[in-house]
Every structure is written in structure tokens, then in C-alpha cells.
């Protein structure tokens, strides 16, 4: 098989003629010397890799059928050597001119050189090349724009990622700060709750100790001081009988006996007020009637009393109700300026004691402060609330310009009574 070299070699290339069936007619040029051993008549598809055969057939069909095919990538092989080349082809009288080059620009120039050398018309090929060049340039431009857009997008993504990381870090720091603050707040709440619970326990213990001490003092006044005054009165009587011959001494003894009687009466009243025996002997209802009668006489305040209870209540509840009644009426005398008081008590599933006066009331600010903090109105109301809480009850106070109403509600269920009684005993 003969070969003729081009006079001007600019790019390494492969050039050959094929007949319309794709058989090799002439090897024009082979810079890589891949096909020196190939004989005329060999098919073009035999010169390419097996994977490119079908593509090579379409390439030849396009070149011989439509007049031109340009920039097809095919892999050619000879023995162990392979090369990936850009191929272009055009229709000739013999069949087809096929050019291969390692670059697209080399393919264009080699195609023009070979066509010029062989006197081939390049109209169809030129039009195809120009169209493909325009398409290639447009695709290159679009590709560059796409690359630039991709670069800008990658940059923005990087900036967004950095912003996201910073935001997540700030959120984590803020969340950690809030968690720490919440933990400290929770700890403070637990400490305060525990302190308040201990304070309530201490207050309840103090109230129980106060009741016990009142009971002890009442008994001591009755059993010791009262007996001493009674003995003093008897001694005065005996002394009076011994000196009856001296008339001027009668008024003196009369005054002494009167003072002794008054002291006995006051000690007996004080003893009963500290701890009335009726409370132990007959229960809250009887003790309340006795106390209210004495209160009305001492204070000159009209009292409207209604007691709807006949059965005895557990001792801790009766003691608490009596102290609550005492403190309520004491507050009426000291603070309300009322001339009339209404007292209502009934016992069913709950023991409910209500004391209403028609006095000047408590200012809204002081009342609100007491409801929120338990302070602002003296220790009396706070002690009353603690007594009710100790027995699982509720303490409510309402006040306006028409007066003040104190209501205490204590449950009388068996479980509550037993548990609270056990606590009081402990």
C-alpha cells in the first residue's frame, strides 16, 4: 500500500480514503505510523477499538450519505497501541476522505490542507465546520458562564455554610447559656422550696409548742397560783374571825378578800383563755360558745354565732379551729373597728369556719402582698394560714370597704385526719 506525505506538517494526523462501503483505498498520511502494516481493502471499522465500531459506522454513513461529518471522537488501535482521535469526513468521488487528529483545531487545519492538496470541494464541510464551530463557541461560552456560575455558587455556598456554622455555634452557645441559667434557676427554686417547706415545718412546730405551752401555763395558773390565792383567802377569813373584836379592821379584811376574789377570777379567766378546759371536755362547739360569750362582754361587740356541729372532731382540728377563732376575734378588736361580727361554723366532709366583721377592711396592697408573700399584715394571719396548711386545709381572706371575711376549710376525711393527727403527735 503506497502513501504520500503532505508537504506541510503542522499537526500529527491520520488521513485516508475509504470507498462507500468503508474499505480502505489509500492511506494518505499516518504521523503515528499506526497502520503501516494495514493493506488496502481493510475496513475502517477494523482500525478502531471494538467499542467504537458502531460509532465509526455511523460516522462513515453520515460522511458518505449527507456529505460531511465533523469532530467525532473514536479510539483507533494497532496491536497494543491505542489513540483517541478527533475525526472528520467528507464525501468524494471515490467514497469518503477521513481525517484524524489529536486535537479539534488540528483536525480543522489538517482537513483544509488535505482537501486543498487533493483539490476537493470543501463547501459542505466548511459549512458543517462553521456551524459546528459556532455551536462549539456558543457551548464554550455557555460552559464558561456555567463554570463561573458554579464557582460563584460554590463561593456563596461556602459563605452560607460558614454563616450556618457560625449561627449554629451562636445558637449552641446561647442554648448552653440558657440551659445553665435554667439549671441555676431550678436549683434556686429547689433551694427556696426546701427552705419554705422547712419554714412551714418550723412554723407548725412553733404553733404546736405554743399550744402546749399555753396548756401548761393554764394548768400551772389553775393548779398552783389559783390554789395559793384560794389558800390566801381562807387564811384571811381565819384571820378575820380571830380579830373580830377589833371593829376597825373589818373594812380592811373586806378589801383583802375582794382583791383575792378578783385575782382568782382573773387567773381563772386567763387560764381558760390560754387553754379552756371545755375544749378538752366538750369539744370545739362548747368552747367556742363560751369564748364568744366572754368576748362579747369584754369587747362590747355584737356577735352573731351559728354553730352547725354536734359531734366531736379530732383533737388537732379542734385545737386549730379554736386558735383560729381566737386570732380572728383578736384582729377584729385590734384592727377593724367593727361593732358587729358574724361567726359561722359547720362540719360535714369538711370543717368550715367563717368570721366576718363589718369594719374598715384591709388595704388592697397589703392584702395582695400577704397573698403573694405571706407578709405585710402581721404574724397573726400568717400563723392562721400555717395552722390550716398543717392540717391540709385552706385559708382564705377577703376584704373591702364593707369589712373583712376570714374563711378556713379543713378536710375531715379519715385518711387526712389520721395522717395529720399522726404528724401533730410526732
**Are 276 and 287 within 8 A, CB to CB?**
yes
Query: Phi, psi (5° rounding) for residue 129?
Result: -65, -45
Q: What distances in angstroms separate CA 238 from CA 153, 242, 296, 312, one per listed residue?
A: 122, 6, 38, 45
Query: What is the reported pLDDT for 220?
Result: 61
Residues of the chain with pLDDT under 50: 1-10, 414-426
Q: What's the pLDDT score for residue 8?
A: 44
- Other C-beta atoms within 10 Å of 183: how many? 10
Chosen CATH of 13-121 out of 3.40.640.10, 3.30.450.20, 3.40.50.300, 3.20.20.140: 3.30.450.20
Identical fold for domains 13-121 and 279-425, yes or no, is no
Helix or strand run (H / E) with residue 25: strand 24-30
How many angstroms separate the Cα of 324 from the Cα of each of 329, 380, 405? 9, 9, 13
Q: Taking a C-beta distance cutoff of 8 angstroms, is the pair 376, 395 a contact?
A: no
- What pLDDT is recorded for position 128? 54
**Cα torsion 314, 355, 207, 285: sign:** negative
Look at the domain 279-425 and name its fold: Heat Shock Protein 90 (3.30.565)
What pLDDT does residue 368 have?
A: 79
Q: What is the mean pLDDT of the chain?
A: 77
Can you give the residue ranges of every domain in the chain? Answer: 13-121, 279-425
- Per-residue model confidence as pLDDT tens digits over 268-321: 666 656 666 667 777 888 888 888 888 888 888 888 888 886 678 888 888 888
CB 324 within 8 A of CB 388: yes
Look at residue 417 in the predicted model and tell me its pLDDT: 44
Radius of gyration of the chain (CA): 60
Cβ-Cβ contacts under 8 Å for 62 (sequence gap 6 or more) = 68, 69, 89
pLDDT of residue 150: 83
Q: Phi/psi at 33 (nearest 5 deg)?
A: 55, 45
Amino acid at each position: 500500500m503506497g502513501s504520500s506525505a503532505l508537504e506541510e506538517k503542522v499537526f500529527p494526523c491520520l488521513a485516508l480514503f475509504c470507498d462507500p462501503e468503508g474499505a480502505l483505498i489509500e492511506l494518505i498520511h499516518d504521523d503515528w505510523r499506526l497502520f503501516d502494516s494495514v493493506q488496502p481493502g481493510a475496513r475502517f471499522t477494523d482500525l478502531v477499538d471494538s467499542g467504537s465500531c458502531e460509532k465509526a459506522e455511523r460516522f462513515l454513513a453520515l460522511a458518505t450519505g449527507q456529505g460531511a461529518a465533523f469532530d467525532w471522537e473514536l479510539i483507533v488501535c494497532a496491536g497494543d497501541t491505542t489513540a483517541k482521535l478527533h475525526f472528520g469526513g467528507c464525501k468524494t468521488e471515490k467514497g469518503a476522505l477521513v481525517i484524524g487528529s489529536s486535537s479539534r483545531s488540528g483536525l480543522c487545519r489538517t482537513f483544509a490542507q488535505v482537501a486543498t492538496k487533493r483539490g476537493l470541494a470543501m463547501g459542505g464541510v466548511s459549512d458543517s465546520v462553521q456551524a459546528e464551530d459556532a455551536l462549539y463557541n456558543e457551548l464554550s461560552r455557555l460552559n464558561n458562564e456555567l463554570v463561573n456560575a458554579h464557582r460563584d455558587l460554590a463561593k456563596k455556598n461556602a459563605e452560607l455554610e460558614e454563616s450556618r456554622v457560625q449561627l449554629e455555634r451562636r445558637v449552641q452557645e446561647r442554648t448552653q447559656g440558657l440551659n445553665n441559667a435554667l439549671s441555676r434557676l431550678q436549683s434556686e427554686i429547689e433551694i427556696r422550696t426546701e427552705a419554705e417547706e422547712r419554714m412551714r415545718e418550723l412554723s407548725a412546730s412553733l404553733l404546736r409548742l405554743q399550744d402546749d405551752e399555753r396548756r401548761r401555763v393554764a394548768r400551772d395558773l389553775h393548779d398552783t397560783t389559783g390554789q395559793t390565792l384560794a389558800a390566801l383567802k381562807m387564811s384571811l377569813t381565819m384571820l378575820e374571825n380571830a380579830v373580830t373584836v377589833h371593829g376597825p379592821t373589818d373594812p380592811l379584811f373586806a378589801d383583802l378578800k375582794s382583791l383575792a376574789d378578783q385575782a382568782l377570777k382573773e387567773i381563772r379567766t386567763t387560764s381558760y383563755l390560754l387553754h379552756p378546759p371545755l375544749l378538752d371536755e366538750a369539744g370545739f362547739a362548747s368552747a367556742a360558745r363560751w369564748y364568744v360569750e366572754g368576748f362579747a362582754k369584754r369587747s362590747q361587740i355584737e356577735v352573731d354565732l351559728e354553730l352547725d356541729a354536734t359531734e366531736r372532731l379530732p383533737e388537732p382540728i379542734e385545737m386549730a379551729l379554736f386558735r383560729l377563732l381566737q386570732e380572728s376575734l383578736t384582729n377584729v378588736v385590734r384592727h377593724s373597728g367593727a361593732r358587729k361580727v358574724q361567726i359561722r361554723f359547720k362540719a360535714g366532709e369538711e370543717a368550715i369556719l367563717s368570721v366576718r366583721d363589718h369594719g374598715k377592711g384591709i388595704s388592697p396592697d397589703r392584702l395582695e402582698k400577704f397573698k403573694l408573700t405571706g407578709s405585710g399584715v402581721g404574724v397573726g394571719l400568717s400563723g392562721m394560714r400555717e395552722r390550716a396548711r398543717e392540717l391540709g386545709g385552706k385559708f382564705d381572706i377577703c376584704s373591702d370597704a364593707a369589712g373583712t371575711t376570714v374563711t378556713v376549710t379543713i378536710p375531715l376525711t379519715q385518711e387526712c385526719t389520721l395522717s395529720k393527727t399522726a404528724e401533730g403527735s410526732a
